[in-house]
């Protein structure tokens, strides 16, 4: 084998990544400096520590990627870190007490990224343990409703999302969704022929063997029941979309897609009459301006924030939506509205383009993957992060009802950061395998 004859070089991709990291780091530094300089004409406190921490993160990321995934896509990690850094800058100004925890969770997330790459040296390792991962996913889903360690995130909606261990809180559903995507991808690939080729006659029609749907139907229904029992509507919707997308990508049968859409419409109708939270969010979505000072206050203020921003924005640090009295939950659910006000339409569009590029990189990794499992797993993870970003941004702009999910890498929240960096590590592993040249005998 003559790898050199094939033009096998690992450094160019990492050099490209390093260049993008440097450009992104400079942008983040300017974003952190501008608000303080605009208001007080002085450097922000602890700017030197922030700069040293940022340099440390960039160096560690480069070292890990050069060592563990030298052939992986050079765009994914810079995009994630730029959005993470921009979110940190917004959070540190909006809620200064949250800056420390957010930076700490970023470091933990990068640790999880490195750990996943170290443990899973081949994507096929994930496929081997699908039922173990499924069991772990159910354990994580059930944990928030377990007495003592579980508690509702707020008393109004009563959504059970968190587990407590002393002073540490965590949202286990963030990790559970990754494990479920891996399980679905592995099972769908194994049962592809049974799910696709008609083998049973029903009257004059041939249908696939419905027994193949047994395990995945049980897994999907049980997951949805648990999540709905915890009143976490956003992740229930996200899980359903990912499940349906993977089923369609596996089989290519539009019948499954149509049945899924009908089932979704029926489930939404039933949920709106059974679950008050769903009915309330749909009502607020459709009639937010009917009660702008009460139930529709948050939604209306989000829209007004975008209106104040206009095309170019008010400028970093000059928006009033950073005040939680003006716009509640502005570091998590509505951080995109704060960006829309201060960065304007151009800035908000740049954030959307960033997510589109991240989704494109994930799909490229899926297309280049070496195994069918890797292809479907990468596609599922990409659909997961893409739709999560879409749902929250569409909810803030009133294109859809609010779902309560976080904006990946941007919103405050340690659970989301750790889960998304773990997701990114799997995509990088699959991308690295797909970009490696196929060696041929000399």
**pLDDT reading at 155 higher than 60:** no
Percent of the chain with pLDDT strictly greater than 90: 43
Q: Which residues contact 255 (CB under 8 A, 6 or more apart)?
A: none
Phi/psi of residue 81, each to 5°?
-70, -35
Within 10 angstroms of residue 43's Cβ, the number of other Cβ atoms is 12
Are the C-beta atoms of 106 and 57 separated by less than 8 Å?
Answer: yes
The mean pLDDT value for 325-334 works out to 88
The mean pLDDT value for 190-213 works out to 64
Residue written as tokens 């049962």? 191
Which pLDDT value is given to residue 156? 40
Which pLDDT value is given to residue 260? 75
Q: What digits encode the pLDDT tens for the residues 371-399?
A: 999 999 999 999 999 999 999 999 999 99
Residue 169 β-bridge partners: 164
Encode burial over 176-191: b for 16+ CB neighbours within 10 A, e otherwise: bbbbbbbbbbbbbbeb
Residue 241 tokens, joined: 């979309």
Which pLDDT value is given to residue 173? 84
**pLDDT reading at 50 higher than 80:** yes
Q: What are the CA-CA distances from residue 79 to residues 73, 354, 361, 414 (Å)? A: 11, 7, 10, 18
**pLDDT reading at 125 higher than 90:** no
Please report which confidence band the pLDDT of residue 157 belongs to, taking 50, 70 and 90 as the band edges: very low
Which pLDDT value is given to residue 220? 61
DSSP symbol at 145? G
**pLDDT reading at 215 higher than 60:** no
Are the C-beta atoms of 429 and 67 separated by less than 8 Å?
Answer: no
Of residues 336 and 227, the one with the higher pLDDT is 336
Percent of the chain with pLDDT strictly greater than 70: 83
Query: How far apart (Å, rounded) are the C-alpha atoms in residues 178 and 198?
Result: 31
Q: How many helices (H) and strands (E) does the chain have?
A: 16, 5
Which pLDDT value is given to residue 8? 43
Are the C-beta atoms of 384 and 235 separated by less than 8 Å?
Answer: no
Query: How far apart (Å, rounded) are the C-alpha atoms in residues 369 and 103?
Result: 33
Which helix (H) or strand (E) segment is 206 a member of?
strand 205-207
pTM: predicted TM-score of the whole model, two decimal places: 0.89
Query: How far apart (Å, rounded) are the C-alpha atoms in residues 402 and 83?
Result: 21
Which pLDDT value is given to residue 433? 94
The DSSP result for 37-64, as a single string, is HHHHSSPPTTHHHHHHHHHHHHHHHHHH
Q: What mean pLDDT value characterizes the chain?
A: 83
Q: Which residues contact 92 (CB under 8 A, 6 or more apart)?
A: 32, 98, 99, 102
Which pLDDT value is given to residue 149? 63
Which helix (H) or strand (E) segment is 161 a member of?
strand 160-165
Of residues 347 and 145, the one with the higher pLDDT is 347
Q: What digits encode the pLDDT tens for the residues 397-425?
A: 999 888 878 899 999 888 899 999 999 99
Nearest Cα residue to 380 out of 232, 215, 218, 184 = 184
Which pLDDT value is given to residue 438? 67
**pLDDT reading at 73 higher than 50:** yes
Of residues 205 and 186, the one with the higher pLDDT is 186
Which pLDDT value is given to residue 214? 60
The domain segmentation of the chain, as residue ranges, is 4-435
DSSP symbol at 168? E
The DSSP result for 323-366, as a single string, is STTTSTTTTTTTHHHHHHHHHHHHHHHHHHHHHHHHHHHHHHHH
Q: Which residues contact 23 (CB under 8 A, 6 or more apart)?
A: 78
């Amino acid at each position: 084998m003559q790898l050199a004859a094939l033009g096998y070089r690992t450094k160019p991709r990492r050099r490209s990544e390093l260049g993008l990291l440097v450009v992104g780091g400079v942008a983040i530094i300017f974003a952190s400096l501008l608000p303080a300089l605009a208001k007080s004409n002085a450097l922000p406190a602890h700017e030197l520590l922030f700069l040293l921490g940022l340099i440390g993160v960039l160096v560690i990321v480069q070292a890990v990627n050069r060592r563990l995934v030298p052939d992986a896509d050079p765009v994914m990690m810079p995009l994630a870190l730029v959005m993470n850094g921009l979110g940190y800058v917004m959070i540190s100004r909006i809620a200064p007490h949250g800056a420390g925890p957010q930076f700490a969770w970023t470091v933990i997330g990068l640790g999880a990224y490195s750990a996943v790459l170290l443990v899973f040296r081949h994507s096929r390792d994930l496929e081997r343990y699908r039922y173990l991962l499924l069991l772990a996913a159910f354990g994580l889903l059930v944990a928030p409703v377990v007495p003592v360690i579980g508690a509702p995130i707020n008393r109004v909606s009563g959504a059970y999302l968190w587990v407590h261990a002393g002073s540490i809180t965590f949202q286990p559903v963030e990790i559970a969704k990754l494990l479920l995507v891996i399980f679905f991808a592995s099972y769908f690939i194994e049962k592809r022929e049974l799910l696709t080729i008609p083998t049973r006659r029903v009257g004059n029609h041939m249908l696939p063997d419905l027994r193949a749907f047994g395990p995945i139907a049980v897994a999907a229904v049980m997951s949805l029941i648990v999540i709905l029992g915890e009143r976490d509507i956003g992740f229930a919707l996200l899980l359903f979309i990912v499940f349906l997308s993977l089923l369609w990508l596996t089989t290519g049968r539009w019948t499954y897609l149509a049945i899924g859409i009908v089932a979704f419409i029926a489930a939404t109708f039933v949920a709106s009459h059974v679950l008050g939270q769903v009915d309330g969010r749909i009502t607020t979505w459709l009639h937010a301006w009917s009660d702008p000072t009460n139930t529709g206050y948050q939604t209306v203020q989000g829209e007004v924030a975008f209106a104040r921003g206009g095309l170019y924005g008010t400028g970093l640090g000059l928006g009033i939506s950073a005040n939680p009295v003006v716009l509640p939950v502005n570091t998590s659910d509505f951080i995109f509205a704060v960006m829309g006000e201060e960065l304007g339409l151009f800035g908000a569009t740049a954030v959307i383009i960033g997510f589109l590029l991240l989704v494109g990189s994930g799909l490229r990794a899926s297309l280049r993957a070496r195994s069918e499992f890797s292809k479907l797993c990468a596609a599922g993870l990409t659909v997961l992060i893409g739709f999560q970003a879409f749902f929250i941004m569409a909810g803030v702009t009133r294109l859809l009802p609010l779902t309560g999910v976080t904006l990946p890498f941007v919103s405050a929240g340690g659970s989301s950061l750790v889960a998304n960096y773990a997701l990114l590590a799997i995509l990088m592993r699959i991308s690295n395998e797909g970009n490696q040249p196929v060696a041929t005998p000399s």
